[in-house]
Structure 1
Amino acid sequence: MKMKYFSPLFVSCALTLSLYSCNDYLDRELTSGVITSDLIWESPQAIQSVLVTMYDEGLRLDEFDDWFTGKSNLLNLTSLSDEATGAYQKDYAFSNANSIYTYSDYVFEDPFATRYVQIRRTNDFLKKLNETAVLSTEEKRVIDAEARWIRAMQYFGLVKRYGGVPLLTAPQEYVPGDFEGLQVPRNKESEVYDFIIAECKAISDILPASRTAESKYRASKGAALALCSRAALYAGSIAKYGSNANLSGEAVTRGYVGIASSEAMRYFTESYNASKALLDAGTYSLYNKNADKAENFYELFSKSVNGNNGEYIFQKTFNVSAGKGHMWDKMNAPFSYRGDGWGCGVTPTLEMVEAFEYSDGSPGKLALKNTDGTPRSFDSPYDLFAGKDPRLFASIYVPGAPLKGSKVEWIRGVINGQNGSGQKYQAQNQPDKDNVATIDGVRYNTSGKDGGADVGDASKTGFYMRKFFDETLTDMTNIDAKRSETPWVVFRLGEIYLNLAEACVELGGRDAEALQAVNAIRSRAGIQPLEAISTAKVRQERKVELAFEKLRFWDLKRWRVAHLDESQGGLTNYRGTALYPWFNVKSKKFTFETGVPPKQKRLFLERNYYIRISPTDLSTNPQLVQNPGYGN
């Protein structure tokens, strides 16, 4: 009887498709009609093409166009962290401000069927790679390592969402009608992390030390060490801080979720060793080519540098002419720069702005008032931010920030007076609508061209994202055209310095090394070095250095603080604060107030540390056990 190879969770696919349609893509003809399945393993070029497809189509990397429930709802890893919020009112999280947004049971899920199709393909690829005779032993060894890295990335995407998942490392043999042999139970969360770490360590000395510009989307030794550094750090945090969340039930007792606290130091050591090896190799360096510290940090993530910065360890590349662009710029352009609609998407909050310290190392809270309690006055809104960490200006467009020969203008309204005193005329409509006040016969626009009111599409916080924004892109029309090519950074050296520092403070006795790592980051940023280090200071540095790189949400989860109140650094009751610049018509100066944007407060439940396993997966694989807090 003919046997085929399937994922243990193939049954999720079988509910909606025939078993034949779930067959491996290596078992069907390629659409080119040139290479058939029988010839793939007789052609080195075809084998490389299949590997490229595994990178391009198989890896979900939490990148630019990854949205939960679709782009119009503006729910992504940035807007649902404490970094930002959605601009306009399309989703229940960002409208109806008197309600509470409870984080979805499936927020940022990665459906089992989707991931396991890719894992199954990788396992089949590895088996057939071992059997082919058209590649040399060394060629096969390197390609094998690449495929194993891809598989490790797939498991990391699953484990940070679900905890322990079925760990499948070889193709399964399926005899038609025998489903039970494919129904595999979950592995412990620790076992999945151990697998990822072991794979990274095994392949790191096989993969090339670096890649050419043409192959920067492919795994290298650095990518293996970076994955090990991040995964082990996550596992260590879950082991150390897991008891801060009250989770119970069968999945907990079986170890499918949660890691024993006794394992924390082992994982932190693994993370430290991988980070140290990567830094000591000297293959990568912090980007530091522009004397202007703000522009230097912006360039690191820019289309003009295009990932060729010496700091990116692994990235996702884009090519519009090849039909592989993205829509980040169109989604997030400030209102007056957005072209034919959309834009303004994910907007930073005042809390995020104030997380950036001043360059002299003093706390980042903005001084809106004089010592006597009266509002401070400024010639331009931009002057309020003088002396702030240069990374702020590289990461966020604050009111008055320069952009494309103009300035980002976000004004709450005008005051018929000075020093913040007098009758206020507040913007009532989005910037392209009527926002006019007549004072003593003079007409004033009560809104900036990029926002000021609580309605419409523009930012409600007063800020826009600059990091990753392509300031050279001129055509902002047609969002579906996907005209953006800025690469997405998956791993970069800046994170590795901070991973090392965090592992050091968690291990204890390595404060000097942690301090040196954090100060390397601060030196590049152009900010005063720290004189002492702590866990809180490392976490603070991660927040500003890695802002909007979609790591913050996972950090809050692994530290087990997400369920806490916002006053304790959590996401519960968080909705962010807005900064309101007012133009005083008598003095011709600006004063500031803070306000509450029309966004819901949030509720992050303890069960949200793990995603709910779908009813489809539970019904088709009786071996699975639901995550805590969800029932069945």
Structure 2
Amino acid sequence: MKLYKILVLAGTLGMFTGCEDVLDKRDLSGLNEEVWNDSTLARVYVDYVYDQNLPGWGGNSNLSDESYGESVYFQGTVQVNTVSDFGTSINVNNNYGKIRSINQGIQELEKGTIPPYMRNRLKGQLYFFRAWRYFDLVRLYGGVPLVLEPQNAVGESKESTFMARNKTSETFAQIASDLNLAIENLPGKWMGADWGRVTSGAAAALQGRASLYWASPQFNPGDLAERWQKAYDANKKAKEILMANGHKLHASFEDMWFQEVNNPEAVFITGYNNSTNDQQKKNNTYDNSTRPKYLGTGGGSNQPTKEMVDAFPMKDGKKIDDPSSKYTYNPKLFYKNRDPRFDKTIAYNGATWSINGNNSYKLWTYLVNNKTVEPTATNTGFYTRKAIDKNVAAGNVQYVGTDWMEIRFAEVLLNLAESATGLNKLEEAYAELKEIRKRAGIEAGADGLFGLKPTMTREEMFQAILDERQVEFAFEGKRYWDLRRHLLFEEVLNGKRRTGINISLNTTAIPAAEFEKNRDNISLDEAYSKYFTIGTKVMDTRYEINWKPEYYFFALPQQAISNNPNLEQTKGWNGGTFDPLQ
């Protein structure tokens, strides 16, 4: 990990003394005009915007079939004020506070004397992040007020800031407009210490993602072809721009997380570092919270469910229950002959896991007389091993600095495949899926389809792409949004309880002490066949999942509506009148 990736924010906040106060109220007089006449100072301000807006690692795995956890969303008890991303006050840390900082930068850069070349690059980055903020809002609420200039300060013509919600179509159009400006003004790649800044390719990829949402069933229940065409065009353009600038699938599904500068897979990233200095450190926290607790200083989060584990196909790309697979799935030997991504994503009892600098570490999670042999037990029977640094010592895991790839090249290919499917360009969808599966290491098969069903219908292809995304992007924060934009929570999860497994040692077949002494030298197949029994464990013990249809577009917080009488509540919530499908 690179220490140079400390955002100049440490200096930024020192330079803009009381920066939160400045951005939170009245005006930005605390940033005098000299800032906008000096390219170095203006860049520092843009770095501040990066720090406000860059996304963190993963997220939402408990709000899908990937993992588990108590949630008002799955209990069916979401209230009007539950989803607060819209914000109810002026605050530099909420969405509209961040948008205000971006708008201020765009406005002031226009007034300054920075050379046009540098000014446009800085503005391009700000346009990207304004689109990112509005994308975050529209996928939760539908249309929201489009604030494109800094609003009047507190006490100054308050009524003029009472903006109504823009239509959802207008919000997506504004996102597209900002991203087009970003594409126009940003370079295809940054060099040296600037690597990791957003590029024209990143802007095009975000445009592709946003266009795909607009075409998906959540926003497009009428399946309008023109939306699929826009999504297809946007994703095709993103792929072309990215490939022209050296992007492609990384050679290794496992190692792609650990190449940083010039990583061909990385399209839109958040950079982290491994500093231990309180003033400089920006550690990613995912690694320490995800690995077993006793192999770091935190740990045990993001535990895969059995449903997630079962989603991985066999080595030939066929589902585990597909009778046409050349491999017969054996639930007792669930780990055998699976998609190679399985062993790079899922850690299970008896797995060899290169971790803490030990290339031959064996993970044991079994029970003896209903007691775990682990210092701290996994609840589902599994751990996530994706993007876990294998070299760092346990005591230093809290300082891991692995970068987060919010958009990687694989997503661009799958976004293009899905958009092509929307237009019935199924051969193009096949081509992109095969590229993903080829990199994964799935067997091509005699037909060269990597386990994909031949001559799929449009609906079958949509499902195949969702299935591929579930495996390829496991624990990358994508599954929740995929279920949401395809209106699939009811079908996939409602009325169900997610499960895990318990693996118990049969002590009548072998004494516990004898097995413990010899277990690292016993073949895994022998251990599971002779000595282990596997049982299913219900993880959702309090309720069956009950996602409600109104959750596809959340309510605005009541306080926001009380503050602004021009805001309409979303339909489906407290007599709301705003239609998020317009």
The alignment's TM-score, normalised by the length of structure 1, stands at 0.74
Aligned to 1:71: none
Aligned to 1:309: 263
CA displacement, residues 122-151 of structure 1 (integer Å, 9 cap, x when unaligned): 111111101111x21121122111111111
Aligned to 1:44: 39
The match for 1:548 among 450, 457, 475 is 475
Inter-partner Cα distance in structure 2 for 1:269 and 1:366: 31
CA displacement, residues 429-482 of structure 1 (integer Å, 9 cap, x when unaligned): xxxxxxxxxxxxxxxxxx23266xxxxxx32211111112222232447x9xx5
SS in 1 for 2:344: helix
CA displacement, residues 25-66 of structure 1 (integer Å, 9 cap, x when unaligned): 8432xxxxxxx6343123221111000000012x152535xx
Matched, 1:110 2:79: no
SS in 2 for 1:205: helix
Matches within 5 A, 1:290-329: 296-302=252-258, 305-306=259-260, 308-321=262-275, 322-329=280-287
Cα pair 2:349 2:363 within 8 Å, conserved: yes
1:46 counterpart letter in structure 2: L
Matches within 5 A, 1:131-530: 131-133=111-113, 135-173=114-152, 176-238=155-217, 241-242=220-221, 261=224, 264-278=227-241, 280-281=243-244, 283-288=246-251, 296-302=252-258, 305-306=259-260, 308-321=262-275, 322-339=280-297, 342-364=298-320, 384-403=334-353, 404=355, 405=358, 406-413=361-368, 425-427=369-371, 447-449=372-374, 458-476=377-395, 482-508=398-424, 510-528=425-443, 529=450, 530=452
Cα pair 2:83 2:555 within 8 Å, conserved: no
Inter-partner Cα distance in structure 1 for 2:151 and 2:293: 53
Once the 2 structures are TM-superposed, how far is the Cα of residue 194 of structure 1 from its aligned partner?
A: 1.3
CA displacement, residues 557-610 of structure 1 (integer Å, 9 cap, x when unaligned): 111112x1xxx32x3234322122222231652232323235443221111112
Inter-partner Cα distance in structure 1 for 2:273 and 2:388: 16
Cα pair 2:26 2:152 within 8 Å, conserved: no
2:106 counterpart letter in structure 1: L
Cα pair 1:213 1:308 within 8 Å, conserved: no
Taking a change above 3 Å as real, the CA distance of residues 24 and 392 of structure 1, as seen in their structure-2 partners, is farther
Inter-partner Cα distance in structure 2 for 1:179 and 1:93: 35
Taking a change above 3 Å as real, the CA distance of residues 106 and 313 of structure 1, as seen in their structure-2 partners, is farther
1:50 counterpart letter in structure 2: Y
Once the 2 structures are TM-superposed, how far is the Cα of residue 265 of structure 1 from its aligned partner?
A: 3.1
SS in 2 for 1:464: strand
Once the 2 structures are TM-superposed, how far is the Cα of residue 262 of structure 1 from its aligned partner?
A: 6.5
Once the 2 structures are TM-superposed, how far is the Cα of residue 277 of structure 1 from its aligned partner?
A: 2.9
CA displacement, residues 251-272 of structure 1 (integer Å, 9 cap, x when unaligned): xxxxxxxxx8475334433444
Aligned to 2:487: 560
Cα pair 2:204 2:235 within 8 Å, conserved: no
Aligned to 1:444: none
Inter-partner Cα distance in structure 1 for 2:412 and 2:552: 24
Cα pair 1:348 1:464 within 8 Å, conserved: yes
Taking a change above 3 Å as real, the CA distance of residues 144 and 100 of structure 1, as seen in their structure-2 partners, is closer
CA displacement, residues 141-199 of structure 1 (integer Å, 9 cap, x when unaligned): 22111111111111111111111011122234559442111111011111111111222
Aligned to 1:431: none
SS in 1 for 2:267: strand
Matched, 1:572 2:524: no
SS in 1 for 2:68: strand
Once the 2 structures are TM-superposed, how far is the Cα of residue 309 of structure 1 from its aligned partner?
A: 2.4
Aligned to 2:531: 589
Q: Greater shift after overlay, 233-242 or 219-228?
A: 233-242
Once the 2 structures are TM-superposed, how far is the Cα of residue 618 of structure 1 from its aligned partner?
A: 0.8
Q: Give 1 or 2: higher strand fraction.
A: 1
SS in 2 for 1:301: helix
Aligned to 1:27: 29
Once the 2 structures are TM-superposed, how far is the Cα of residue 536 of structure 1 from its aligned partner?
A: 0.9
2:535 counterpart letter in structure 1: E
Aligned to 1:440: none
Once the 2 structures are TM-superposed, how far is the Cα of residue 105 of structure 1 from its aligned partner?
A: 5.3
Cα pair 1:142 1:206 within 8 Å, conserved: yes
Matches within 5 A, 1:43-122: 43-57=38-52, 59=53, 61-63=55-57, 76-86=59-69, 100=75, 102=77, 109-112=84-87, 113=90, 114-122=94-102
SS in 2 for 1:407: coil
Inter-partner Cα distance in structure 2 for 1:211 and 1:22: 32
Inter-partner Cα distance in structure 2 for 1:376 and 1:524: 26
Once the 2 structures are TM-superposed, how far is the Cα of residue 532 of structure 1 from its aligned partner?
A: 4.2
1:409 counterpart letter in structure 2: W
Cα pair 1:400 1:409 within 8 Å, conserved: yes
Inter-partner Cα distance in structure 1 for 2:171 and 2:429: 28
Inter-partner Cα distance in structure 2 for 1:309 and 1:393: 22
Inter-partner Cα distance in structure 2 for 1:627 and 1:237: 20
SS in 1 for 2:99: helix
Taking a change above 3 Å as real, the CA distance of residues 617 and 476 of structure 1, as seen in their structure-2 partners, is farther
Inter-partner Cα distance in structure 2 for 1:178 and 1:376: 67
CA displacement, residues 492-531 of structure 1 (integer Å, 9 cap, x when unaligned): 10000100000011111x1111101000000000113134
Taking a change above 3 Å as real, the CA distance of residues 240 and 193 of structure 1, as seen in their structure-2 partners, is closer
Aligned length: 504
Matched, 1:536 2:516: no
Cα pair 2:33 2:112 within 8 Å, conserved: no
Q: Give 1 or 2: higher helix fraction.
A: 2
Inter-partner Cα distance in structure 1 for 2:388 and 2:181: 37
Inter-partner Cα distance in structure 2 for 1:449 and 1:307: 37
CA displacement, residues 332-380 of structure 1 (integer Å, 9 cap, x when unaligned): 22143244xx42122111111111101112213599xxxxx9x976xxx
Q: Greater shift after overlay, 520-529 or 108-117?
A: 108-117
Cα pair 2:207 2:235 within 8 Å, conserved: no
Inter-partner Cα distance in structure 2 for 1:160 and 1:610: 8
Inter-partner Cα distance in structure 2 for 1:603 and 1:473: 41
Taking a change above 3 Å as real, the CA distance of residues 173 and 597 of structure 1, as seen in their structure-2 partners, is closer
Aligned to 1:606: 549
Inter-partner Cα distance in structure 1 for 2:256 and 2:184: 28
Taking a change above 3 Å as real, the CA distance of residues 526 and 311 of structure 1, as seen in their structure-2 partners, is same
SS in 1 for 2:144: coil
Percent identity among equivalent residues? Answer: 27
Cα pair 2:561 2:568 within 8 Å, conserved: yes
SS in 2 for 1:319: coil
SS in 2 for 1:490: strand
2:388 counterpart letter in structure 1: F
Superposed CA RMSD in Å reads 3.0
